[in-house]
Amino acid sequence: MGKYKVFLRKSAADELGRIPKKDLVRLIERLRSFANEPRPQGCEKLSALDRYRIRQGDYRVVYAIDDREKTVDIVKIGHRGDVYKR
The C-alpha angle with vertex 24 and arms to 35 and 77, in degrees rounded to 5, equals 70
Higher per-residue confidence, 2 vs 78: 78
Q: Residue 49 falls within a domain, yes or no?
A: yes
Tell me the three state secondary structure of residue 78.
strand
Q: Residue 85 falls within a domain, yes or no?
A: no
Measure the CA–CA gap between 26 and 67, rounded to whole angstroms. Answer: 25
Q: Which residues, in sequence order, are bridge partners of residue 61? A: 54, 77
List pLDDT tens digits, range 16-45. Answer: 989 999 889 999 999 999 999 999 999 999
Q: Residue 47 falls within a domain, yes or no?
A: yes
* 3 band by pLDDT with thresholds 50, 70 and 90: very high
Is the pLDDT at 1 greater than 70? The verdict is no
User: Containing domain of residue 60, as a range?
Assistant: 5-79
Q: Residue 21 falls within a domain, yes or no?
A: yes
Whole-model pTM: value is 0.88
Scanning the chain, the segments in alpha helix (DSSP H) are: 10-16, 21-33
Q: How many folded domains does the chain comprise?
A: 1
Q: Residue 29 falls within a domain, yes or no?
A: yes
57: domain CATH number is 3.30.2310.20
List pLDDT tens digits, range 46-70. Answer: 877 789 999 988 899 999 999 999 9
- β-bridge pairing 5-8 and 71-79: parallel
